[in-house]
Chains A and B, each alone.
Chain A
Amino acid sequence: MTATVDTPLLTVEDLRVSFAYGGRPVEVVHGVDLSVGVGESVGIVGESGSGKSVTGRAIMGILPTPPARTTAKRMEIAGQDLRGGGVPEAGDGHQGQPIAMIFQNPFTALNPVFRVGSTLTEALVKRRGMSRSDATAEAVRLLDRVRIPNAKSRIRNYPHEFSGGMQQRIVIALALALEPRLLIADEPTTALDVTVQAEILELLREIQTERTMGMIFISHALGVVAEVVSRVNVMYAGRIVESGPVGSVYDDPKHPYTQALLLAAPKVGQFRTRTFGIPGSPPDPSSPPPGCAFHPRCALATDVCRDTVPDVRPRLAGGSGTASCHHAGESLVAEGATR
């Protein structure tokens, strides 16, 4: 696997997650490789149920175990092994934590019965070892940074007294309070209006540059991902099916699933007489199809797809990125497969 950034921050090899509810465990993430460089921003895109959120939560160490079970050949951040489970510690006492996470729904991500200031200072006191008064001052600074107006007085408000966009800013401030070297953003703008979405994306970009913080940006919206990341991983049915620099993946998708996703995404300024959808739906993780998991929905599928799981292979000879497809490079459109 090829990393595009010289100094790796996060390295994940062969991450597998399974869930056991009473009966036989069901694997939902089947050997994901992922790397994020220092200050680099990496995207994971896929439909709901593709395992992208589970991947993020597994790295964060917040999957409920049991029923979840996480294994990996390697999973480390800046040399620190993450495989022990649980939320990673900085290792050297009250220094925050190496990874922080923000979530999809800002309306439910903050505890409704605590003032936002109290939520922030609790993290600062417990995770950064600050005194109460230092923590309060720092909380105001953080809210200022995420552009909450009148942070000094707003700190005494409850979450429900903020708009959704403002609440997501507070969630970001809470993540920043931990001084993370990597931020995992799980669909952070999906629940927000388009204009608010743009502001949050802008804020994330700024903070990321200013702190040289790595970021994993998880989303189902390809356009949103393209705005914030330099490299993208396309996930389908618990596997990364294609990865590479965002420009080259979007301009020249090699995997039929990526091609289909891009065809299905609406584009501004483009008038279409018909929309394109991907026929069928993602497989049930408890009974995945044999071979390539995408073959039942793939117009290019041949016999080999039906019985052999494709290897991870380079997208382009000598270039960066991977595609896991027996027919990588063949074009869905050229085949006239837009049913």
Chain B
Amino acid sequence: MLTGDLGQSVRSLQPVTSVLGERLPVTGLLAIGATLLTIVVAVPLGILAAVRKRKFADRALLVTSALSLAVPSFFLGILLLIAFAVNLRWFPVYGYKQLGEGVWPSIQGIALPVVALAVPQTAVVARMTRASMLEVLSQDYVVTARATGLSRLRVYYRHALKNALIPIVTVVGLNFGALLGGTVIIEQVFNFPGLGTLLINSVNARDYSIIQGIVLLFGAAYIVINLSVDIVYAYLDPRVRYGQS
């Protein structure tokens, strides 16, 4: 570990870095796909709930997010498999096989695990978006924007959202760690040969150098993500940008 590479696998005798490198794209694809899906779904949902506060959409979001936070990811994955792969046959049971066989089969293949990963994240991020938007919508500059006669949509999506995004970015960043943890389980459920599957195999084989490598890699990813969050901050909030110089 102190020599700079991560040593070798005691089982396959391959260098740990190259074993990890082989598996990283699979896990990365799942994590990034789930993050994108989370943002695309959660932010508009959270805004809708904030704008329609205490109306049906808001209550529905609170209930579904509470529910989805209580569902363990492996169970959610299995429910998705039962519903959409076994019964409806919309998606394959072994999605990994379809990756790289064209755009649509690839999307089909990765859809269920990405959804299973994204659901709990979506609950967290949508709640945060709602709270953050409510906070921002009560600010004076939102009143100014309204008094300037700008349309509601413009006030929400341009004036309010850019401010509301600052805490949302933090939550997405902080939760990336949890998302990486989620891949470990989801890869098992959907038989994806990523880092998570490698980890479980290594635990069963007592291949400690691989386990150590994965822990370090995930820790490093967490740090990189946090740095990126800081950079996005500076883009979103000019006060941060100038405060640092």
- B149 contact set on A, CB distance < 8 A: 87, 89, 97, 123, 126-127, 178
B residues 147-162 touching A (CB-CB < 8 Å): 147-150, 154, 159, 162
Any A CB within 8 A of the CB of B146? yes
Q: Which residues of A contact B (CB under 8 A)?
A: 60, 62, 87, 89, 97, 100-101, 103, 105, 108-115, 122-123, 126-127, 158, 160-161, 171, 174, 178
A103–B141 Cα distance when bound, in Å, is 10
Q: Which of B12-20, B71-79, B234-242 contacts A (4 or more CB under 8 A)?
A: B234-242
Whether A178 contacts B148 by the Cβ 8 Å rule is yes
Write the chain A residue with the least CB distance to B54.
A22
In the complex, the answer to whether A111 meets B154 with C-beta atoms within 8 Å is no
Task: Return chain A residues, CB-CB under 8 Å to B141.
Answer: 108-112
Which residue of A has the minimal Cβ distance to B145?
A111
Q: CB-nearest residue of chain B relative to A120?
A: B148
Task: List 5 A-B residue pairs with CB atoms under 8 Å apart, sorted by A's residue number.
Answer: A100-B147, A105-B140, A108-B140, A110-B144, A160-B242
Which residue of chain A has its CB nearest to the CB of B152?
A86
Q: Are A158 and B144 in contact (CB under 8 A)?
A: no
Complex contacts, B139 vs chain A, CB 8 Å: 108
Q: Which of B146, B148, B159, B242 has the most CB of A within 10 A?
A: B148
* Shortest Cβ-Cβ A-B pairs, 9 listed: A108-B140, A111-B141, A158-B238, A87-B149, A101-B147, A113-B162, A97-B149, A109-B144, A123-B148
Q: Are B163 and A111 in contact (CB under 8 A)?
A: yes
Complex-state Cα separation, A97 to B149, whole angstroms:
8
B227 contacts the other chain (Cβ, under 8 Å)? no
Bound complex: CA A109 to CA B159 (Å): 12
**A126 contacts B154, CB within 8 Å?**
yes
- For chain B, the count of residues having a C-beta within 8 Å of the partner chain is 20
Is residue B203 contacting chain A, with contact meaning CB distance below 8 A? no
Which chain A residues border B146 with CB–CB below 8 Å? 62, 87
- Residue of B at shortest CB range from A171? B144
A122–B146 Cα distance when bound, in Å, is: 12
Known: A112-B238, A112-B239. A103 touches B163 (CB 8 A): no
Please name the residue on chain B nearest to A106 by beta carbon.
B140
Contact among B144, B147, B236 with A113 in the assembled complex (CB-CB below 8 Å):
B236
Which residue, of B147, B236, B238, B242, has the highest number of chain A Cβ atoms within 10 A? Answer: B147
Near A by CB (< 8 A), chain B positions 104-153 give 139-141, 143-150
From known contacts A113-B162, A126-B154, infer whether A160 and B148 are also in contact, taking CB-CB under 8 Å.
no
How far apart are the CA atoms of A101 and B146 in the complex, in Å? 10
Cross-chain contact of A103 among B140, B150, B238, B239 (Cβ < 8 A): B140
CA distance A20 to B141 in the complex (A): 24
Enumerate chain B residues within 8 angstroms of A89, measured Cβ to Cβ: 149
A contact residues around B242 at 8 Å (CB): 158, 160-161
Tell me the complex Cα distance, A146–B162, Å: 28
Return chain A residues, CB-CB under 8 Å to B144.
103, 109-111, 171, 174
Compute how far the CA of A101 lies from the CA of B140 in the bound complex, rounded to whole angstroms: 12
CB distance B163 to A113 under 8 Å? yes
Distance in angstroms from B60 CB to nearest chain A CB is: 20
Q: Is A113 a contact partner of B238 (Cβ separation < 8 A)?
A: yes
- Those of B52-78 within 8 Å (CB) of chain A: none
Point out the residues of chain A lying under 8 angstroms from B162, CB to CB.
111, 113-114
The distance in angstroms between the C-alpha atoms of A105 and B144, with both chains bound, is 11
How far does the alpha carbon of A89 sit from the alpha carbon of B148 in the complex, in Å?
10
Shortest CB-to-CB span from A112 to chain B, Å, is: 6
Interface contact A126-B150, CB-CB below 8 Å: yes
Which residues of B are found within 8 Å of A105, using beta-carbon distances?
140
Contacts beyond the supplied A123-B150, A174-B144: 20 A-B pairs with Cβ under 8 Å = A62-B147, A87-B146, A87-B149, A100-B147, A100-B148, A103-B144, A109-B140, A109-B143, A112-B163, A114-B159, A114-B162, A115-B238, A123-B149, A127-B148, A127-B149, A158-B242, A160-B238, A160-B239, A160-B242, A178-B149
